[in-house]
Structure 1
Amino acid sequence: MSSRSRVADETYSPLYFLASLGAGGVTVTFFMILMFWVPHPGRPVPIFEDIAAAFGTADAGLSLAILIALSGIAAFAFKNVQLLIWNLRALSRFKQTPAYDALRNSNGETTLLAMPLAMAMTVNALFIVGLVFVPGLWSVVEYLFPLALIAFVLIGAIAFRQIGHFIGRVLSKGGVFDVTAHNSFAQLLPAFAVSMVAVGLAAPAAMSTNPATVGTSIVLSSILGVIAILYTVLAATTAVSSMLQHGTAREAGPTLMIIVPIVTVLGIMLLRQNHGLHTTLDVHGSSGETLILLTRLLAIQIAFLGLGAVVLKAQGYFNDFVVGDKTSPGSYALVCPAVALSVMLHFFINKGLVAAGLIAKFGVVFWGLTALAIVAQIVAIALVLRLGRQHFRAKPLESIVPAE
């Protein structure tokens, strides 16, 4: 009888932190249902008490939606934490191997940024779990915001330490960065990680009423947000040049759409900051301005979704790595754009079109557009489940077909 193992155990890469990230992202998509469909007067987000009150008085449709959302949050938040713990243990073992030393001295060193990226997502996911499942949490939330800021600062410190090691190595010596292998957007992973920390730091700006907390949140998230934007622009510009010369690296093809989640998290960061400026610092923007901002961000996402889809189809990526037998840890990067598009569409519809008075909430147009967000969410869920079977289900060793 042949021995059995899991692909993820046999071909470990720090990119498997994206599996945890994807599950956390799906958790957020379920929270969007509660965020925009459940009334939460006087609060920027729905909490346990709001959800319980809505469930007790809602019609059958909303009650079913609430049950689905709560079940999804519980299931995927659990998977998010489970996969994060597995990755932390696997990374610890990986650090004892020669492969880790080789990684630290190659372009692939930036894949280590998937770890703080996933950790930041887990903090966000756990906060959602607390909001929707813990009664009375809102009464002590002002005490939790400083702790959340500290947590994100520590995660940010881990990210910047790793970025500093990489940049210090490649810019202090000549010839250590392989430009020919820079033919993808894989080097945008550090920007994605910093963006995720930034949006976490911005959360207290949207929810706190303490001026010191709001001010700290706005300043810290702005600093990291700007750094993330600068890094994105520089890394993307140099990558395009390499892709034009050498084509797009096949295994890294999904990174062409990494701009989509970066735009979503930075967009939410801006919305959170604007809320804090409005409620605490007396700086007021209009619904029309928010609509224009979200429309422009959505346009960027559509452009890069199209770019990624065209290249991946031309490369036959989906046939090999999603529905085929080949496996690549980088395929988990496909979950992020689906999650990000779903979340952005919810904000565009509710904070943009509805808030500006262009469409009626729960009207025909509202549901037609919301269906697009739900389809993107379903795609994300399907990818998480499919890739989970490919990479984390035990199978005979001889049947494991890693990427070439």
Structure 2
Amino acid sequence: MSRTPARPSDTYSPLYFLASLGAGGLAVSFFMWLMHWLPHPGKTVPVFEDITAAFANGSILTQGMILLALAGIAVFAFLNLKLLVWNLRSFAAWAKTDAYAKFARTNAQSQVMALPLALAMSVNVMFILGMVFVPRLWSVVEYLFPLALIAFLAIGAYGFKLYSGFLGRVLTEGGFNCAANNNFGQILPAFAFAMVGVGLAAPAAMSTLPLVAGLGLVLSTFFLMTSGIIAVVAMVLGLRSMMENGANPETAPTLSIIVPLLAVLSILGLRQSHGLSAHFGSPDMAGETLAMLTKYLSVQILFLLFAGLVLVRQGYAQRFVFGAENSPGSYALVCPGVGFAVLIHFWLNKGLVDAGMVAKFSAGYWAITVVALVSQMAMIWLVWHLNRRHFGTPKPTGAVPAQ
């Protein structure tokens, strides 16, 4: 009797939502090219009209960059939405099984927060698709901002429902295994609420209506503080367990989850600062922005070194990226690379350039940009590689003797 080969993704885990998240992050990374390299006067982001004007008047290099950026956005946005739909269907079926019931009694129950995290990312991706591919969208954008606020609030409320199921259980019944908490997996809910917060902050930065901008500012602040509290508590608990038990080899990629979390929080902060400056009389100071972004980037680098040290010492790549073992947690390696690339773009353009330390499009400018591009390209390869391992056609196995 021949054994039917199985793909790793045939054994479902909510961490597969990170596959959708990583693809969405790569779509955002391509949008960074358009945002920081093309003029978009009077708007905080480039839209279809800005892009077409730059293409019509630009050099061959500019036109090539625009085409590559649009292709990257389209491909990874499609992959983001495709994997989101697959995950939602798979999660709905898995939630009815005994495996889910067992899962919901463990520390790993908080992994369900990958669902609202991926949903919030996909809403951001759809907004990017609208801006770059839909003509005259900016003329009706003020009607879209209230809808965006409602959508992100709904995702946030759903996230609280999921998280309260986990938190309510462990705080009333106990059963949280501190020894098995030797990772940063419990920071995932903080990441999810931060993603909701950055979506709510978009109207604060882009709306011309003080009421809408103010609502975005207030609501995003609530999720900012929620994310920060959860992250600090989870980090302390995780470090305490790791110092005693060592880091869990399979979940070691979560040690770098702080990197994309800080990227999201930095964008949230930039959006809030712009809204405060535009509508509420707060001074927009380039030096303070540079200092804030430099702090975030510094912590990112520290955690990349920290996570890299553990991953190398444990031989994670040899086991789960190139070896015979597979883990859906491998997708947690994509988010840090994307988050680092995105924050480099903001640190350079909204920090160094605006503060007058680096000239736009100078040799130094492109030298720093290369760091972001290398990280972005590495994550594109990693997504392609992991998707082949987890979702590709399985290799046939040998025959199993009949019993």
State the SS of the aligned residue for 1:264. Answer: helix
Aligned to 1:276: 275
1:198-220 Cα offsets, whole Å, 9 max, x none, are 00110111110011100000000
Say whether 1:293 aligns with 2:301: no
CA apart distance, 1:225? 0.2
> 2:155·2:196 contact (CA, 8 Å) conserved in 1?
yes
AA partner of residue 177 (structure 2): D
Aligned to 1:3: 4
Q: Please, what is the CA RMSD of the aligned residues?
A: 1.0
TM-score (norm 1): 0.97
Aligned to 2:85: 85
AA partner of residue 75 (structure 2): A
AA partner of residue 7 (structure 1): P
> 1:253·1:312 contact (CA, 8 Å) conserved in 2?
yes
AA partner of residue 168 (structure 1): G
AA partner of residue 372 (structure 1): V
> 1:203·1:217 contact (CA, 8 Å) conserved in 2?
yes
> 1:7·1:394 contact (CA, 8 Å) conserved in 2?
no
Aligned to 1:302: 301
> 2:287·2:355 contact (CA, 8 Å) conserved in 1?
yes
Aligned to 1:137: 137
Say whether 1:312 aligns with 2:311: yes
Distance 1:398 1:146 in 2: 53
Which sections of structure 2, spanning at least 5 residues, go unmatched? 399-403
AA partner of residue 180 (structure 1): A
Which sections of structure 1, spanning at least 5 residues, go unmatched? 400-404
CA apart distance, 1:2? 5.1
Runs of 4+ in 1 over 4 A off after TM superposition: none
Percent identity of paired positions between Structure 1 and Structure 2: 51
Q: Tell which deviates more after alignment, 319-328 or 358-367.
A: 319-328
Q: Tell which deviates more after alignment, 82-91 or 58-67.
A: 58-67
State the SS of the aligned residue for 2:179. Answer: helix
Distance 1:3 1:105 in 2: 31
State the SS of the aligned residue for 2:249. Answer: coil
1:184-207 Cα offsets, whole Å, 9 max, x none, are 000111001001000011011111
Q: How does 1:213-362 map to 2 (within 5 A)?
A: 213-362=212-361
TM-score (norm 2): 0.97
Distance 2:163 2:113 in 1: 8
CA apart distance, 1:283? 1.0
Aligned to 1:402: none
1:82-129 Cα offsets, whole Å, 9 max, x none, are 000000000011011111001111100011000000000000001000
CA apart distance, 1:378? 0.6
Aligned to 1:128: 128
Aligned to 2:178: 179
AA partner of residue 60 (structure 1): I
State the SS of the aligned residue for 1:182. Answer: coil
Aligned to 2:401: none
AA partner of residue 341 (structure 2): S
> 1:31·1:69 contact (CA, 8 Å) conserved in 2?
yes
State the SS of the aligned residue for 1:3. Answer: coil
Distance 1:100 1:56 in 2: 54
CA apart distance, 1:4? 3.7
1:361-404 Cα offsets, whole Å, 9 max, x none, are 000000000000000101111111000000000214648xxxxx
Distance 1:304 1:318 in 2: 18
Distance 2:397 2:258 in 1: 37
AA partner of residue 107 (structure 1): N
